[in-house]
Structure 1
Amino acid sequence: MKKLLLSIVVAAGLFGCRKLDQPITREFTETAYWRDAQDALDALTACYEHLSKDDYFFGDEALSDNAYNSGVGLLNVNAVSNGGYDGANGRVVDTWPYYYTTIRRCNTVTTNIDRVPNMDATLKRRILAEARFIRAYAYFQLSAWYGDVPFYTDLISIEQSRTITRTDKNTVQQFVLSELADIQKDLPTNQQQAQNDRGRITRGAAIALSARVHLFRSEWQAVVTDCEQLINKTDNGAYSLFGSYSNLFTVANEYNSEVILDLQYGGARTYDKQRQFMPQTIAALRSVLVPTQDLVNDYIMTNGKAIGEAGSGYDESNPYVNRDPRFEATILHHGSKVTDFSGAVQTILTQPGSIPATNTVDDQGASPTGYYFYKYYDRAATNYSSGLNLILIRYADVLLMYAEAKNELGQMNAAVWNQTIQPLRVRAGFNDAGATQFNTALSKEQLQTVIRRERRAELAFEGLRILDIRRWKTADVVMNRPVRGIKVTSGAFNKDPNGYIIVENRLFTNPRHYLWPVPTIERDQNKNLSQNQDW
């Protein structure tokens, strides 16, 4: 594991390839670098390479009540989600230096770009804006997980890294917001962006990330202001919902009209996480990152009602019929059919006693909950290694942020609903008026439940649920429940009173677990780093 005093200096000589989806392969010394614009672009590529990583994207889902990850994979996120962790946990230890390496790389660009002679002014401003965006993204991630964190925008020395103190998280996030506002003028829109620049940060990405930070801070009017710059307007980019929800997350449809920011893969940069979340008869590996019954239960019926509502039509003996179409596009269940890598269609059986038993809860290598994730399954992968980009921000999220903010301000009405929730549901495949039309009888609190449930269904398996339950302050409720799997009537399973498998008990203590501890190794190196409450 990298340490902070190493993380903040290692990037100076690690700038490389020009394509965003390729790993760094070249090294440069300070005396031979910053010779021309390409050097600056290569330095910027090193920042992009450290924007985020697949371990976080998929692991974040298992930090929430959407998913369960067995064992110590994905940097031992399971210990975090069940409350059995401390400052030496793999994910806690990894995230801190990872993003400080990101910040170091960005600071290297912002500090040294003036050394490039005769550089085109527009290109220079764009490079600076992209580096500042990535740095802002890193600082937001750090402050969201750890709260107060060391803050700097220059190239601090190893000696300084051993004495720097933590800056208040509000100050850090205010910096993030001011950066995102200031760089917008120097970024192209997605319409202005050249074809070979696809995947780079745009003005729309800066606006959307600003909305997400404001959302995290419950600054509702600011969320509205940001989102209104993107909804049904083209001044800051042209975005729209892609026609098919199930086809949105495929290599064939990368860079579609809905994608605002994604993590770039392809070429030599790939990931193999689908081997951990698909059935083992497809991925030839144990299935350890799996959906929970609580996530499944939150998908509404096609008539718009929750499964527990009167008149929903939910049949516990046939639980997957007439459910939100996004459920089938996201999760595999007992009886699901899926095409494997050879082109054969497999029927996935998860109930105990099914034959074959390979994917059932009876098998130790199968999903312990009886469900599998399907979203982000990439049949185009070679040897299970996928080059499919991972979407960090998409237009659907902008619509959901806007709907939530308007409701919190007491401004949710039919017009807002028809701009936000309705098109999401129509795109998903709903056609019942009960699901698509605004219900004037619902109170603000009832609409809050509807919107939060909509957000969960639309964005499941995209790593955002953990930030939501933290900002809503519901994590100490939903993460104090057992991880549940399918309902079974036979077999030696630990079950709740209703017959659902109990996979694991979880613990989330308020306020302790709303922030991660500062990693032990960082405090060992820097005695000036304080610790979060109750750690």
Structure 2
Amino acid sequence: MILSQEEIIRMRKFYQWVSISNFNEKIMTIRKISILLLVIGTLTACEDVDQPLTNDYPETAFWKTQDEALAALTACYENMYRSDYFFGNEALSDNAYNKGNGFGNVSQISNGGYDGRTGRVAEEWSYHYWGINKCNLVLENADRAVTDANLLARIKAEARFIRAFHHFQLATWYGDVPLVNKVLTLAEAKVITRTPRAQVIQSVLEELEIAEADLPVVYSDATDRGRIIKAAAIALRARVNLYESNWEQVVQDCEKLINTTDNGVFTLVPRYEKIFTLDNEYNKEIIFDLQYGAARTYDAQRFFLPQSVGKLRSNLVPSESLVSDYVMINGKGIHDAGSDYDEENPYENRDPRFKKTIIHHGSKIYDLDGKLQEILTYPGSTPSLNTIENQVASPSGYYFRKYYDSTASNFNSGINLILIRYADVLLMYAEAKHELGQMNAAIWDKTIKLLRQRAGFDEPEALEFDVTLSSDDLRTVIRRERRTELAFEGLHIYDIRRWKTIESVLNEPVKGIRITTNQFPKDENGNILVDRRVFLPRHYFWPIPQYEIDQNKNLLPNNPGW
């Protein structure tokens, strides 16, 4: 829903300001409250209130102090992204499969049987526009409450970044969308039209450039941990340019973070698995992440862990497609000549990141009670709780390990979800350099080689640049590296869309482990067939939500094919 200022006033609950000063505590204590107004969905707010709620919204009661402006900005952060989008994105790609209707009906989307009324398709539009509206309110009103010029510039830069992020998401999923860079009147909201996607993307790039100038390299006060920094604007701009195949601009952006420390000091965490743990948050690899903890948690891990660990249905599970893309320890793909891949021992001598991301037959994991469990997924195994024969277990025979929080209380994790990390910057740089025909041993050494060394590769064949590879083969290596390094971080769906491989990979059956029995349908190699998906040309952009069209016919015509 694209909200007007009048609609906000009619809510009679603008922001319930937080009175605590610590930014992270503000983010953590936010909870969601539902307010019914023209079926607009949810309004997010904070628990601690220092403004009275009355029957009429007194606009003059707000924007009087610096603390109120900062609290309004904090509310913008809370509405930036959702954990179910973050994890559900994996099942929109060929990385994972979702059994059932969770994560906003992503299984229905991946099966091609969706429309403008389907869960996430309908909700994500209004979610981002509500976030945009919060940012616009800050940008138009912060001057009334903040007299410190430097602080005011920083507040506006943070709001601009978040608004740009929302518009980027909308343009990615829906194509042409209204570009809303001001608080709308009721009349404007009712007749607004869609802006060409290219214009929206250009606006996003311009917003991030403006924000970069006024964002700090680092925050001196520890209570501001988690706020947007200069490097976040640079890295997000690189990602936008990457998705648009603006290769030279990608290189320019990445070099602001790779070849200099002027915009922050970033490095790869020595141990790959430590990036995604509670005790290693705010490490030197993270450029921007979603803040969780205390009262703000997510329970998604209950749906991607083995049933014996998570205690619920294992609905979000890795695919054989992802598993097969992890190379051998010598750097070769499992089907390449000389890979030494052994079908009888398929999980041995693989990319070290594989076992740190995926749980397979024979994996061991400590549950929340501290008990070490061996996870058995092959049919006929005893116990059978996690085998593919069990209807509440993974239908692919695999489970995700990354982002498992063994310290969680009742499976509600407070681990921050990483939106941008330095490894992604290195991967964007490598891809852009290759597409420009500039990949060489020097670029390889400070991108792919660094990532593989950190992962645990030690064989020269995996670490050194192979000058004999064709351009297409090198592209495959770089893309495979990106997929496996960033698996289960919600990004692969965007990659296969921009690579234009999505029609091929999503029209392939979802496959699972290789079995020798005949109790399940299998392909010619013995891998079980889990489900089929459908991706048609019209699916590159989602339809405009039906409710939005019902309220505003100016959003028509819909995207092609819808």
Taking the TM superposition and a 5 Å limit, the aligned residue runs for 1:183-332 are 183-190=211-218, 192-332=219-359
Match of 1:376 among 392, 403, 406: 403
Q: Which residue of 1 aligns with 2:546?
A: 520
Give a deviation string over 1:448-502, Cα, whole Å, max 9, x none.
Answer: 1000000000000000000000111111111101000111112521211221111
TM-score normalised according to structure 1 size: 0.97
CA displacement at 1:5 relative to structure 2: 4.5
Q: Which residue of 1 aligns with 2:42?
A: none
SS in 2 for 1:320: coil
**Residues 334 and 341 of structure 2 are in contact (CA less than 8 Å); yes or no, is this contact kept in structure 1?**
yes
**Residues 205 and 393 of structure 1 are in contact (CA less than 8 Å); yes or no, is this contact kept in structure 2?**
yes
Q: 1:282 is matched by which residue type in structure 2?
A: V
Q: 1:168 is matched by which residue type in structure 2?
A: P
SS in 2 for 1:290: strand
Q: Which residue of 2 aligns with 1:14?
A: 15
User: d(CA) in 2 for partners of 1:215 and 1:15?
Assistant: 38
**Residues 157 and 211 of structure 2 are in contact (CA less than 8 Å); yes or no, is this contact kept in structure 1?**
yes
SS in 2 for 1:176: helix
CA displacement at 1:15 relative to structure 2: 4.7
**Residues 259 and 394 of structure 1 are in contact (CA less than 8 Å); yes or no, is this contact kept in structure 2?**
yes
User: d(CA) in 1 for partners of 2:110 and 2:12?
Assistant: 32
Alignment gaps of 5+ in structure 2? 31-45, 52-57
TM-score normalised according to structure 2 size: 0.93
Q: 1:94 is matched by which residue type in structure 2?
A: E
Match of 1:350 among 377, 385, 390: 377
SS in 1 for 2:28: coil
**2:536 paired with 1:529:** no
Q: 1:14 is matched by which residue type in structure 2?
A: Y
Q: How many residues align?
A: 530
User: d(CA) in 2 for partners of 1:420 and 1:247?
Assistant: 20
**Residues 99 and 107 of structure 2 are in contact (CA less than 8 Å); yes or no, is this contact kept in structure 1?**
yes
CA displacement at 1:11 relative to structure 2: 10
Q: Which residue of 2 aligns with 1:505?
A: 532
**Residues 69 and 289 of structure 1 are in contact (CA less than 8 Å); yes or no, is this contact kept in structure 2?**
yes
**2:158 paired with 1:130:** yes
CA displacement at 1:233 relative to structure 2: 1.7
Q: Alpha carbon RMSD of aligned pairs, Å? A: 1.4
Q: 1:52 is matched by which residue type in structure 2?
A: Y
Q: Which residue of 2 aligns with 1:38?
A: 67
SS in 1 for 2:63: coil
**2:170 paired with 1:169:** no
Give the stretch that moved more between structures: 193-202 or 34-43.
193-202
**Residues 352 and 491 of structure 1 are in contact (CA less than 8 Å); yes or no, is this contact kept in structure 2?**
no
**Residues 17 and 71 of structure 2 are in contact (CA less than 8 Å); yes or no, is this contact kept in structure 1?**
yes
Q: Which residue of 2 aligns with 1:443?
A: 470
Q: Which residue of 2 aligns with 1:74?
A: 103
Flag the 1:84–1:6 CA change in 2: closer, same or farther, 3 A: farther
Give a deviation string over 1:166-224, Cα, whole Å, max 9, x none.
Answer: 0001101100001111111211113x442111100000000000000000000000000
CA displacement at 1:384 relative to structure 2: 0.6
Q: Which residue of 2 aligns with 1:477?
A: 504
CA displacement at 1:77 relative to structure 2: 0.5
Taking the TM superposition and a 5 Å limit, the aligned residue runs for 1:49-68 are 49-68=78-97
Give a deviation string over 1:120-145, Cα, whole Å, max 9, x none.
Answer: 11111110000000000000000000
Give a deviation string over 1:103-124, Cα, whole Å, max 9, x none.
Answer: 000000001111116x211111
SS in 1 for 2:287: strand
Give a deviation string over 1:226-257, Cα, whole Å, max 9, x none.
Answer: 00000042100110001110111000000000
User: d(CA) in 1 for partners of 2:301 and 2:180?
Assistant: 37
Give the stretch that moved more between structures: 16-25 or 476-485.
16-25
Flag the 1:266–1:145 CA change in 2: closer, same or farther, 3 A: same
**2:186 paired with 1:179:** no
Q: 2:302 is matched by which residue type in structure 1?
A: R
SS in 2 for 1:338: strand
**Residues 146 and 515 of structure 1 are in contact (CA less than 8 Å); yes or no, is this contact kept in structure 2?**
yes
Flag the 1:468–1:91 CA change in 2: closer, same or farther, 3 A: same
Q: 1:136 is matched by which residue type in structure 2?
A: A
User: d(CA) in 1 for partners of 2:224 and 2:3?
Assistant: 33
CA displacement at 1:12 relative to structure 2: 7.3
**Residues 91 and 107 of structure 2 are in contact (CA less than 8 Å); yes or no, is this contact kept in structure 1?**
yes
Percent identical among aligned pairs is 57
User: d(CA) in 2 for partners of 1:180 and 1:147?
Assistant: 19
Flag the 1:11–1:139 CA change in 2: closer, same or farther, 3 A: farther
Alignment gaps of 5+ in structure 1? none
Give the stretch that moved more between structures: 322-331 or 232-241.
232-241
CA displacement at 1:6 relative to structure 2: 7.8
**Residues 349 and 360 of structure 1 are in contact (CA less than 8 Å); yes or no, is this contact kept in structure 2?**
yes
User: d(CA) in 1 for partners of 2:445 and 2:221?
Assistant: 33
**2:154 paired with 1:154:** no
SS in 2 for 1:107: helix
User: d(CA) in 2 for partners of 1:159 and 1:254?
Assistant: 45
